[in-house]
Amino acid sequence: MTLLRSVLFFLWFAAVSAAIHIAALPALLLPRRVTVWASRRWSEATLWGLKILAGLDFEVRGEIPTQAVLVAAKHMSMWDTVALYLLLYDPAVVVKRELLRVPFYGWYLQKAGVIAIDRGGHASALRQMAQAARLAIGDRRSILIFPEGTRKKPGSAPDYKPGAAGLYNQLQVPCVPVALNSGLFWTGFLKKRGRIVIEFLPAIPAGLKRAEFMRTLEECTEAATARLIAEGRKRRLEAA
């Protein structure tokens, strides 16, 4: 049944993505808010398909930030970007520059106002990222970054990159860590029934030294993530 549900969701996802990407093409010539509206409808449709066709719902814990802050999230699957874009409302998402070259998807990313970085650019890339982030904060948009730079399987050893600390020091705003357990349910093509939990943790105040910030971010995010993974595994065993 998991395979069948995953196939049904894939067909829904492909159809919705194609329909919205084509229908929203005029948005690329219109004000940015039109693209944001279309992107949110795509996110809603994706999550609806997951719930109805794949039996995969989600639960939000903690307080979703309403002010412009730095949001540093654990990253396990594509679900994370879809859900966080919807929950945070128009965040400036830090993404790999290569994604902008993807037809349709990359065009909408650029129009939506993401922060694209060249991961091989080192110091210059960090400066460009910080400059773009300051502009977004000035527009009252939160910055969404995945501190490890890539998706991690549940239980994998953490590997936090310096980009989050660089933004934290440059922006001088609080940082809201985010823990989740999506990797238990969204495993490549397969989408397993259950309920993903995403938790917005207490904000790390602005002004900490770099090393203290990185230690605090990693410790609180990893501890909460381990708790959510254990909880998710327990629920799956009980439902089996």
By CB atoms closer than 10 A (0-12, 13-18, 19+), residue 108 is buried
Of 13-27, 116-130, 214-228, minimum mean pLDDT range: 116-130
Q: What pLDDT band is residue 146 in, cutting at 50, 70 and 90?
A: very high
**Residue 61 half-sphere exposure toward CB, CA atoms < 13 A:** 15
pLDDT confidence of residue 101? 87
Determine phi and psi for 151, rounding to 5 degrees: -75, 145
pLDDT confidence of residue 238? 77
pLDDT confidence of residue 240? 65
Q: CB–CB of 154/184 below 8 Å? A: yes
The average pLDDT across 85-101 equals 92
pLDDT confidence of residue 239? 73
Q: Mean pLDDT in the chain?
A: 93
Beta strands in the chain (DSSP E): 56-62, 70-73, 92-96, 115-117, 143-145, 175-180, 186-187, 190-191, 194-200
The average pLDDT across 27-41 equals 95
Three-state SS string across 40-105, please? Answer: HHHHHHHHHHHHHHCCEEEEEEECCCCCCCEEEECCCCHHHHHHHHHHHCCCEEEEEHHHHHCCCH
Four-CA torsion 33, 80, 53, 64, nearest 10 degrees: -70
pLDDT confidence of residue 190? 95
pLDDT in tens, 96-111: 888 888 888 899 999 9
pLDDT in tens, 59-72: 999 999 999 999 99
Domain range annotation of the chain: 56-239
- Two tokens, residue 47: 């999550």
pLDDT confidence of residue 216? 98
Q: CB–CB of 216/204 below 8 Å? A: yes
User: Which residues partner with 96 through β-bridges?
Assistant: 117
Q: What pLDDT band is residue 120 in, cutting at 50, 70 and 90?
A: low
pLDDT confidence of residue 121? 58
pLDDT confidence of residue 122? 65
